């Protein structure tokens, strides 16, 4: 993030604008809505700028006025046609520790003017880092349509309620919890279009609920990686969470849904590396819940598939802590979707097998005879490191060397890779295509049905 968004209090502070043309007018149109003391240095001004001067909203100075004689401003806008003059101004501003904005001149710009949706005191500002003001404006128009006019009034009412709640709730954390609960349980559109007078009763209701609240744990599936594959329920629970305990494969954007003040605990396990034990993870979850917190235990994919959810559930049951499981899209489903494959087919496989390449004690054993059968299919999790082992076991049990294997790495993410391989070439192909991220091996599945195992067999027979 090169441009940090901040909302600056300019009330009774000086802001200067150099230039009196249309570019200066555009900057001033927002500035005059603030409570800043505005000084415009220009020899000619547009009629709008004149009007603002007549209303006393801006003070006009000559372009040649000795600006150094005035009290230092907090911000400077320069919108003059002469770029060298803007650069000179930028140098002076920077030498004096003042932030400057030059219209359409990157090298003289410390900050940008965002597109804004003004529902004061609620201001939504949209910046594009200077890449596309047009896109920022288009986004602004979308938000304009969504935010009712009375949003500002609603916000002011919340301000009053907050002030009254302060006395009731001394800790900042408990206040945040109430608000997260309130916004989690109410429809935002209803709040924004509702009567401000009813808000206080609703907030007090959330407060009462909170007092009765004991800690709870939600085992939540974060899906395979693509933010859009997260469930609405997972998003809501994250927004309300006091504590988020998360794994290695959970994406940043998903974590961003939680309140910044929530406690984030990383308990990811890196394959082949010493990391936090499952027993320690169970203990952390229980300890946080016992403190009355709403705990979200966030796991990649679906929590109940190779996610050791069983161990966490047992620990929670023994500790008599209420829990719920929120399913997520598992990696095999995402991989099949990416490869354009159906996991079941009416003709060939009437059941689906999700198997792991690794068990508690190294490579996982399976009923290899079943999976070596022509047409047998399985989605293998954690199979990359075990590929040679799986290949060997299947071949020993009579599998066809040309049995298709579709490899899907980083399914649903931008870095996704799909490789069409077969049993014979599996280890070499993993190496050749540099598969070292999380991947699913779709055994017996080919996304190109022309090369499916059944077809190959038919050819061999005829
Ligand atoms: N609970 C998870 C699985 C955890 S086991 C789920 O339901 O998806 C970790 C394994 O999942 C990885 O070794 C890999 O085989 C698979 N995996 C997780 N995310 C993946 C992704 N985006 N693409 C492909 N495989 C993935």
Atom 11 of ligand 1 has which residue's CA nearest to it?
Answer: 381
% of the chain at pLDDT higher than 90? 67
In three-state secondary structure terms, 403 is coil
Confidence of residue 272 (pLDDT cuts 50, 70, 90): low
307 C-alpha to ligand 1 centroid (Å):
9
Domain 216-326 = CATH 3.40.1010.10: yes
CB atoms within 10 A of CB 401: 12
Helix (H) or strand (E) run with residue 379 in it: strand 378-381
Q: Quick count: other Cβ atoms within 10 Å of Cβ 12?
A: 8
Query: What does the pLDDT average to over 274-281?
Result: 89
Percent of the chain whose pLDDT exceeds 70? 94
Q: Are 242 and 295 in contact (CB under 8 A)?
A: yes
Q: Tell me how far the alpha carbon of residue 370 lies from the centroid of ligand 1, in angstroms.
A: 23
The gap from C-alpha 52 to its chain's centroid, in whole angstroms, comes to: 42
* pLDDT tens per residue across span 31-65: 999 999 999 999 999 999 999 999 999 999 999 99
Q: What is the pLDDT of residues 375-401, one digit of tens each?
A: 899 999 999 999 999 999 999 999 999
Ligand 1 closest atom vs CA 413: 22
What's the pLDDT band for 183 if we cut at 50, 70, 90? Answer: confident
Which residues form ligand 1's pocket by a CB distance below 6 Å?
A: 224-225, 249, 299-302, 305-307, 330-331, 335, 381-382, 408, 410-413, 438-440
Q: Any idea which residues carry the catalytic annotation?
A: 247, 269
Q: What is the CATH number of domain 332-461?
A: 3.30.950.10
- Mean pLDDT over 99-125 rounds to 91
The pLDDT of residue 462 is 47
Q: How confident is the model at residue 450 (pLDDT cuts 50, 70, 90)?
A: very low
Q: How many CB atoms lie within 10 A of CB 350?
A: 8
Q: Which residue has the tokens 């594959």?
A: 229
pLDDT tens digits, 360-378: 788 999 999 999 998 899 9
Q: What is the residue with the minimal CA distance to atom 24 of ligand 1?
A: 439
Q: Which CATH class is domain 14-113?
A: alpha beta
To the question of pTM greater than 0.85 for the whole model, the response is no
- Mutation choice for ligand 1 from 222, 302, 433, 440, CB with most ligand atoms inside 8 A: 440
Please tell me the least confidently modeled range out of 127-141, 152-166, 437-451: 437-451
Looking at the DSSP bridge assignments, the partners of residue 263 are 243
Number of the ligand 1 atom closest to the C-alpha atom of 382: 13
Closest to 10 (Cα-Cα) out of 52, 84, 73, 61: 73
Q: How far is the CA of 448 from the centre of ligand 1 (A)?
A: 23
- Answer yes or no: are the C-beta atoms of 226 and 413 closer than 8 Å: yes
Name the token pair of 427: 């280890």
CA of 382 to the centre of ligand 1 (A): 7
Best CA proximity match to 160, nearest among 119, 102, 199, 108? 199
Band (pLDDT 50/70/90 cuts) for residue 455 is low
Preceding peptide of 311 cis, ω within 30°: no
């Amino acid at each position: 993030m090169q441009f940090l968004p901040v909302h600056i209090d300019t009330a009774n502070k000086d802001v200067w604008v150099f230039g009196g043309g249309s570019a200066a007018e555009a900057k001033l149109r927002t500035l005059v809505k603030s409570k800043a003391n505005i000084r415009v240095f220009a020899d000619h001004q547009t009629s709008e700028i004149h009007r603002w001067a007549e209303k006393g909203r801006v003070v006009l100075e000559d372009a040649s006025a000795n600006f150094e004689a005035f009290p230092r401003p907090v911000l400077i806008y320069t919108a003059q046609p002469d770029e060298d003059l803007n650069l000179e101004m930028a140098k002076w501003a920077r030498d004096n520790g003042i932030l400057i904005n030059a219209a359409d001149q990157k090298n003289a710009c410390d900050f940008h003017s965002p597109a804004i949706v003004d529902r004061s005191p609620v201001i939504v500002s949209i910046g594009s880092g200077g890449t596309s003001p047009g896109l920022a404006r288009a986004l602004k128009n979308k938000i304009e349509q969504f935010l009712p006019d009375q949003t500002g009034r609603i916000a002011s009412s919340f301000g009053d309620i907050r002030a009254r709640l302060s006395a009731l709730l001394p800790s900042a954390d408990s206040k945040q919890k109430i608000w997260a609960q309130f916004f989690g349980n109410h429809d935002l559109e209803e709040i924004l279009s509702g009567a401000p007078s009813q808000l206080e009763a609703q907030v007090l209701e959330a407060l009462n609920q909170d007092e009765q609240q004991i800690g709870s744990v939600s085992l939540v599936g974060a899906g395979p990686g693509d933010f859009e594959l997260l469930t609405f329920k997972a998003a809501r629970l994250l927004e309300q969470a006091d504590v988020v305990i998360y794994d290695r494969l959970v994406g940043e954007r998903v974590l961003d849904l939680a309140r910044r003040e929530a406690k984030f605990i990383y308990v990811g396990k890196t394959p082949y590396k010493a990391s936090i034990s499952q027993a320690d993870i169970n203990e952390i979850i229980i300890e946080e819940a016992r403190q009355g917190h709403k705990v979200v235990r966030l796991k990649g994919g679906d929590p109940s598939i190779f996610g050791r959810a069983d161990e966490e559930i047992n620990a929670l049951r023994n500790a008599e802590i209420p829990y719920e499981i929120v399913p997520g899209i598992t990696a095999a489903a995402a991989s099949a979707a990416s490869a354009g494959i159906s996991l079941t087919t009416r003709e060939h496989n009437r059941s689906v097998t999700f198997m792991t390449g690794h068990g508690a004690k190294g490579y996982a054993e399976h009923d290899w005879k079943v999976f070596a059968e022509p047409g047998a299919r399985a989605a293998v999790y954690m199979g990359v490191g075990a590929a040679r082992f799986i290949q060997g076991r299947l071949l020993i049990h009579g599998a066809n060397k040309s049995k298709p294997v579709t490899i899907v790495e980083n399914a649903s993410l931008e870095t996704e890779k799909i490789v069409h391989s077969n049993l014979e070439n599996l280890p070499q192909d993993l190496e050749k295509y540099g598969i070292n991220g999380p991947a699913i091996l779709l055994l017996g599945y080919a996304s190109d049905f022309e090369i499916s195992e059944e077809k190959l067999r038919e050819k061999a027979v005829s």
